[in-house]
Amino acid sequence: MDSLEKGAATSVPAPRGRPSRGRPPKLQRSRGAGRGLEKPPHLAALVLARGGSKGIPLKNIKRLAGVPLIGWVLRAALDAGVFQSVWVSTDHDEIENVAKQFGAQVHRRSSETSKDSSTSLDAIVEFLNYHNEVDIVGNIQATSPCLHPTDLQKVAEMIREEGYDSVFSVVRRHQFRWSEIQKGVREVTEPLNLNPAKRPRRQDWDGELYENGSFYFAKRHLIEMGYLQGGKMAYYEMRAEHSVDIDVDIDWPIAEQRVLRFGYFGKEKLKEIKLLVCNIDGCLTNGHIYVSGDQKEIISYDVKDAIGISLLKKSGIEVRLISERACSKQTLSALKLDCKTEVSVSDKLAIVDEWRKEMGLCWKEVAYLGNEVSDEECLKRVGLSAVPADACSGAQKAVGYICKCSGGRGAIREFAEHIFLLIEKVNNSCQK
């Protein structure tokens, strides 16, 4: 089934919680001024991203599959088109910069709500104290990188159209639970949700619903009473493959594979890459140039990158090299990469456009690996872009993927693997 099921309504009175911190909430502004026209309730997406993560330093902006972790959920929230505003609440400058780069607004949270002991509710209440225009908060967890806009759209409809006061995400698990053995208290464990004599097959058992923490939507009045779940309440069941949570470093490589396979990559459909254009200096090489005693130019490259180029070509992807520098043709020929090359290029975008038209491709079928300011226009224009780990900051801001490897140190091979994974994703989507 396409997505998910929503849970049956449950009416739960919201208990009173502790008073909110910071300045007191402002009075609700009156809506419908002028001829009684009512404005829709202001739904704000709020991602909490504190800088002081204990498990993984600056986890919220660590690169996952080439994208800052927080970028995955911000992309989904912005593309959902159901939020009047999308916010990141943070106490850290670097997280603020990444949030703005993805198009989110930033609420600088106080030191009071940035402590290890501070709760999510503390931070949300503080946010509302400063944003009286907000009627409903969609608290989205930064560590759920496989979230899709469709999930958020359906939950927004449940809140706005069906009248729920709070909706939270769950995932279905088929796991048998047993009681924990306390030392000196009991000698044997007991089943909690099964009869061992009649163990059901997976297909004969519906399983159980567990909160997965991806998001919690709640109306202002509940939050101001210190409650994220209450009133007329419902759950929203997410697909298991979209339910990914990253808490510790060991989750990272697993999550990276999951997000590449099941993550949301933007509004436009992915296309299969047919052409990769790679900058020579700083991508194929590490940017170092050595000059021999007889004035001959010497450069070095990583064999892994040569293998990456070979694998791309074997899979039917054309690889071409480009440089604004007057590279020695003799040196390039000695590399034996068998790639069409253009050097002394003053306008890289014009050359790439010429190659694209020559091959009869659309921009979405072109990939580009660059590292300098002169590469930025190409990086922004192509369907798939990347830079090595040591690329200049301007180039890094223009791309969708930042390699873990540096230029001349395996960046091409890494980007090639990324391309192959995306091609697999395209092929899988075509088979559905």
Task: Give the Cα-Cα-Cα angle 74, 134, 120 (nearest 5 degrees).
Answer: 60
**Is residue 63 within 8 Å of residue 20, measured between CB atoms?**
no
Residue 250: per-residue pLDDT: 54
Q: Copy the structure tokens of residue 380.
A: 């922004």
pTM of the model: 0.73
Integer Cα distance of 36 and 54 in angstroms: 50
Closest CA to 371 of 334, 341, 331, 401: 401
Q: Provide the percentage of residues in the chain whose pLDDT is more than 70.
A: 85
Q: What is the pLDDT of residues 82-96, one digit of tens each?
A: 999 999 999 999 999
**Is residue 291 within 8 Å of residue 298, measured between CB atoms?**
yes
Question: Does the annotation mark 199 as catalytic?
Answer: yes
DSSP per position, 1-58: --S--BPPPEEEPPPP-PPPSSSPPPPPPP--TTTTPPPPP-EEEEEE--S--SSSTT
Mean pLDDT by 10 residues, the chain (432 residues): 48 40 39 56 95 76 87 95 96 92 93 84 94 96 93 96 95 89 78 88 86 95 94 94 74 80 78 91 86 73 91 93 81 78 93 96 94 94 92 86 91 92 71 56
Residue 17: per-residue pLDDT: 35
From residue 390, alpha-carbon distances to 88, 285, 382, 403 in Å are: 27, 12, 21, 9
Q: Copy the structure tokens of residue 79.
A: 């593309």
From residue 13, alpha-carbon distances to 25, 193, 225, 263, 419 in Å are: 22, 28, 11, 36, 51
Residue 188: per-residue pLDDT: 84
Render the burial of 159-189: b for 16+ CB within 10 Å, e for the rest.
Answer: beeeebbbbbbbbbeeeeeeeeeeeeeeeee
Q: What is the pLDDT of residues 242-257, one digit of tens each?
A: 988 876 555 677 888 8
What are the residues facing 169 on neighbouring strands?
236
Q: Which of 199, 258, 261, 356 is catalytic?
A: 199
Residue 26: per-residue pLDDT: 41
Q: Copy the structure tokens of residue 53.
A: 């993560």
